[in-house]
Structure 1
Amino acid sequence: MAKRAYNIPNMLTYGRILAVPLIVLCFFFEGRLQSSDPARWTALGLFAVASITDYLDGYLARIWNQTSNIGRMLDPIADKLLISVCLLLLAADTEQTIAGWSLWAAIIILSREILVAGLREYLADLKVSVPVTRVAKWKTAAQMLALGFLLAGPAGEKVLPYTIEIGITLLWVAAILTMYTGYDYFRAGIKHVVDE
């Protein structure tokens, strides 16, 4: 059991969880919430590596036959931590990367993640599994891409004009996919929730 907890796929998941406070530290490097260009590039680099591990950990666990209960439990937690913390950080930063109407896209994404996590936990107690759909994988990819552009933010604008606008557009695409997949999960799970 202990050996499986420290296999490479699980170590990648642990690394993704560890990346979350490191990304936050990039924005608090000077003791207050501030997003200098070097801080944003460092946060983007950490986020990119963490996003790649999201794909790699599951892929390696399957091809090496190293799936484990701790990996199945921590993988979605690591994803939700990474996405949620980055959304909150970008909504709170002094540059107001996510502001105005765009906050609604972030709220939709955060709300869905919490609701689906609760539904999955409830269904797990009933021994009901809700598989991850292809659209849910697209949703995650759209979220990761959007957050990548938004973490680059004003620093990215100096390299690629409209970086923030691209990020906000992708954030809304992710929010729409999030609503669709959230409805999909609830439709699949509601029959087990409603008492007969």
Structure 2
Amino acid sequence: MLTLSNKISLSRIFFIPPLVFCITQVQHNNHYRYVCLFIMLVIGLSDVLDGYLARKRNEITNLGRYLDPVADKLVLVVSCIILSSDRIWPEPRFPNWIPTVIVCRDLLLMFGTIVSLFITGRMDCQPTMLGKAATSLQIVAIISVLIGNHIPLPALIIIWWMAVIFTFISGLLYMYRGVRQL
């Protein structure tokens, strides 16, 4: 059964195609940049709302425990990859190594989670505060690229490095926790 919070998490996945469409249109019409920003803000607010509703209505489900982070990762990974493409996105854009770090960390975590499931028979997807901070900084980095034409390049670089550092360190922490569970 889909709870309201699960439906909201699922809606974030359905926002990906319109987001991708709008991102691909920015090179033709810069106004789409602001539509992208609006979509990302709706996605971000829905992420906060689904967690709040799940706790408030006591509707925390196993599906929600997996659907919420999957929706987050899909939005973030797709956005980072597209916003680094010089064929799709105008300046400023992510250097290619930023989505590489984010995608590699997420693939490693998914692989580790699956291995843990096969070895231990359980899957622990509990987020850490460091992981939440990394996700938040990734969102800030994406938004900074979307409005990057209004942000000085040194500020963008600082935001990008903070997102990458937190992503990398949180990945190490998740790997450490995973190995301890085996």
- Fold match by TM threshold 0.5: yes
1:123 matched to 2:116? The reply is yes
Equivalents in 2 of 1:10, 1:131: separation in Å?
A: 17
1:170 corresponds to = 159
User: Is the partner of 1:66 in helix, strand or coil?
Assistant: coil
| Closer/same/farther in 2, CA of residues 11 and 166 from structure 1, 3 Å limit | farther
Over residues 9-34 of structure 1, what are the superposed CA-to-partner deviations in whole Å (9 max), with x where a residue is unaligned?
112112211111111111334xxx73
Compute the TM-score of the two structures, normalised by the length of structure 2.
Answer: 0.87
Q: Counterpart of 1:13?
A: 9
Check the 8 A contact 1:149/1:166 in 2, yes or no: no
Deviation at 1:68, TM superposition (A): 2.1
Q: Which has the larger radius of gyration?
A: 1
Gap runs ≥5 in structure 2: none
- The letter for the 1-side match of 2:140 is L
Equivalent of 1:22, from 6, 18, 27? 18
The answer to whether the aligner puts 1:132 opposite 2:95 as a matched pair is: no
Q: Closer, same or farther in 2 for the Cα pair 1:89/1:114, shift >3 Å?
A: same
| Distance (Å, rounded) in 2 between the aligned partners of 1:190 and 1:35 | 48
> RMSD across aligned C-alpha pairs, in angstroms?
2.0
Percent identity reads 29
CA distance in 1, matches of 2:84, 2:59: 38
Q: Which amino acid aligns with 1:56?
A: L
Determine if contact 1:130/1:188 at 8 Å carries over to the other structure: no
Count of aligned positions: 178
Q: TM-score, normalised by structure 1?
A: 0.82
Answer with 37-46 or 51-60: which moved more. Answer: 51-60
Per the TM alignment, residue 122 of structure 1 is displaced from its structure 2 partner at its CA by 2.4
Amino acid aligned to 1:26:
C
